[in-house]
Amino acid sequence: MNARDAILQRLYQGREQQGGFEPPASDFSVLQRPHWNKTKKLERFVQAMSPVHGEIHSTSRDNWHLLLQQLVRDKGLRNLWIGNGTPHGSFLADHWQLEQVPLLQRTQPVNEWKDELFNDVAAALTGSLGAIAETGSLILWPTPAEPRVMSLVPPVHFVLLDSDRLYATLHETIQQEGWAKNGMPTNALLISGPSKTADIEQTLAYGVHGPRELVVLVLE
């Protein structure tokens, strides 16, 4: 018998010997939060993300690119990777005024320019599907236009967050968006702050493997 069948057989037999067992009911009501309006959700999001060093800026849907340029200049970033063919990417490309900071756009698979990605890309900008207020978590489903490493390899990650797309909890997100029913993407991410570690004597250090800075532009 192969390993699979042997394991499954032991499990089926073990349970049968015990006569099966009924688990207690799963009462999810403890996860429900009192109704939070948009302001409250935003407040909670900021409360949760600020202590873990997420940098949050409030801006408008029309002028976020100005703020972004100012941040890129202030942080002294030497380039910015943006997605291909996304509405925000195209908008930014059309309005980009920092001539000394090139916008990088890449269509080829990541492993074909891995060296450059790991060594030379200073920052990346991505969109997000929304955020979870309770834990201060951005929801990202990477796409061909904005692959996974955009939020992972460059030292600074800028994220656009639509303030109308805030959920109270993860539980609410999964339910409202029908994640289980509609199927999951290849990779779905919750990102709650920049990369960090406390593996050396419980001392927090940021930017260990992923970005050192996570900058959220909240569009209102």
Partner 1 sequence: MSTATDAVKHFTPRARAALDNPAVRGNFRKAMDGLMSKRQDAFADWDLEELRELGAAVRLRALSRLPELLEQLERNLQANGIQVHWAQTGEQACEIVRDICVARNARTVIKGKSMVSEEMELNAFLARSGIEALESDLGEYIIQLADEAPSHIIMPAIHKNTTEISELMHEKTGTERSSDVDYLTASARAQLREKFMQADVGVSGVNFAVAETGTLCLVENEGNGRLTTTVPGCHIAVTGIEKVVEHLADIAPLLALLTRSATGQHITTYVNMISGPRKTDEKDGPEEVHLVLVDAGRSAIYQDRELLDTLRCIRCGACMNHCPVYTRIGGHAYGTTYPGPIGKILMPHMLGLDNTGSLATASTLCGACAEVCPVKIPIPQLLQRLRSEAMDGDPQRPATVAGHGSKRRWLEMLLWRGWTVFNSRPWAYRLGTALITRCRRLMPSRLGAWTRYRSAPRPAAQSLQQQLRQRQCKES
Given the complex with partner 1, which of 93 and 198 has the nearer CB atom?
198
**Amino acid symbol at 96:** W
Given the complex with partner 1, which of 62 and 115 has the nearer CB atom?
115
Least distance between partner 1 and beta carbon 18 (Å): 5
Given the complex with partner 1, which of 128 and 143 has the nearer CB atom?
143
Burial category of 56 from C-beta neighbours within 10 Å (exposed 0-12, middle 13-18, buried 19 and up) = middle
Least distance between partner 1 and beta carbon 150 (Å): 9
d(C-alpha 44, C-alpha 33), whole Å: 12
CB atoms within 10 A of CB 163: 18
Least distance between partner 1 and beta carbon 88 (Å): 18
Strands 137-140 and 130-132: antiparallel
**What is the token pair recorded at 189?**
């991410």
Given the complex with partner 1, which of 18 and 37 has the nearer CB atom?
18
Residue ranges in 18-149 assigned as alpha helix (H):
38-49, 64-74, 87-95, 114-120
Least distance between partner 1 and beta carbon 71 (Å): 21
Give residue 117's Cα distance to chain centre.
Answer: 19
Residues in the chain: 220
Least distance between partner 1 and beta carbon 158 (Å): 16
d(C-alpha 105, C-alpha 81), whole Å: 6
d(C-alpha 91, C-alpha 115), whole Å: 28
Given the complex with partner 1, which of 37 and 202 has the nearer CB atom?
202
Least distance between partner 1 and beta carbon 11 (Å): 4
Given the complex with partner 1, which of 66 and 204 has the nearer CB atom?
204
